[in-house]
Amino acid sequence: MSVNLAPMLKEGTKKSHTMAENVGFIKCFLKGVVEKNSYRKLAGNLYFVYSAMEEEMEKLKEHPIVSHIYFPELNRKKNLEQDLQFYYGPNWRSEVALSPAGQTYVQRIREVAATRPELLAAHSYTRYLGDLSGGQILKGIAQKAMNLADGEGTAFYEFEAIADEKEFKNQYRQALNDLPIDAATAQEIVAEANAAFGLNMKMFNELEGNLIVAIGQLLFNTVTRRRNRRNADPGLATAEQ
């Protein structure tokens, strides 16, 4: 049997999404306060997260559930490699390191893949659908805030293998709805998606200290004081609206 997992995920992660969009690092980003050192650390963490997720999904591409949401055209690893080379230079591989929160995130992906592969649907949804939903807006914010030329340091937001992102998102949601799972498994996937939000928030929280050092406590307080009521762009805060 199958259940309509896509609307369950959207509804079931609303609270987590609101929490994520109110993390100081995200508020600053959405208001155009982006500091290059903090951003490249985030890109480094995401490189390891996506590498783990894409490696595990590749291994499980014949799995009866994972196979339905295995879309290699979504892969971000190579795009992040381009960005890291831009931010760190040719020796980026020796300079990029996982933060403690990033390490916890990667460990969870590995654990899920080894023990409950169907829960990878939660991690895929939380990251990729968000990337597709908000990529171009976030790209524009990053370019303006860090004074980047077009194509510099923003490959993460480009999906060269997807011609129509809106159509692809519909295809992806339909794939979620068609997963051969029961209601109990669907609820577990929603719970895992909320856990994935938490893992992302821990990474964002780690970066606040770097950002405050760079921009100053006063500016940080000014930017984050009021609740940002615009919808956080899901590509950074994760998951879709």
Rounded to an integer, what distance in angstroms lies between the CA atom of residue 82 and that of residue 96? Answer: 13
Instruction: Tell me the pLDDT tens digit for each residue of 169-197.
Output: 999 999 999 999 999 999 999 999 999 99
Q: What is the mean pLDDT of residues 214-224?
A: 87
User: Residue 232 — very low, low, confident or very high, per pLDDT cuts 50/70/90?
Assistant: very low
Rounded to an integer, what distance in angstroms lies between the CA atom of residue 207 and that of residue 192? Answer: 23
Q: What is the mean pLDDT of residues 51-67?
A: 98
Res 104 pLDDT > 90: yes
Max avg pLDDT among 54-63, 208-217, 223-232? 54-63
Res 240 pLDDT > 70: no
Q: What is the mean pLDDT of residues 193-216?
A: 91
Place of tokens 């794939």: 175
Per the prediction, the chain carries an average pLDDT of: 92
Residue from 66, 17, 45, 7 nearest 194 by CA:
17
In percent, the amount of the chain with pLDDT more than 70 equals 93
Place of tokens 């369950």: 8
Residues in binding site: 10, 17, 125, 173
pLDDT value, residue 226: 62
Residues in binding site for heme b: 10, 17, 125, 173
Chain-centre distance of CA 158, in angstroms?
14
Chain-centre distance of CA 134, in angstroms?
10
Domains detected in the chain: 5-236 (1.20.910.10)
pLDDT value, residue 6: 97
Q: Quickly list H helices, the chain.
A: 5-12, 14-21, 24-30, 36-59, 77-88, 92-95, 100-115, 120-124, 130-146, 165-177, 183-215, 217-224, 234-237
Instruction: Tell me the pLDDT tens digit for each residue of 20-44.
Output: 988 999 999 999 999 999 999 999 9
- Which pair of structure tokens corresponds to residue 51? 């590498």
Res 74 pLDDT > 50: yes
pLDDT value, residue 228: 45
HEC profile for 189-229? Answer: HHHHHHHHHHHHHHHHHHHHHHHHHHHCHHHHHHHHCCCCC
SS3 149: coil
Q: What is the mean pLDDT of residues 57-79?
A: 98
User: Residue 233 — very low, low, confident or very high, per pLDDT cuts 50/70/90?
Assistant: very low
Place of tokens 């295995």: 70
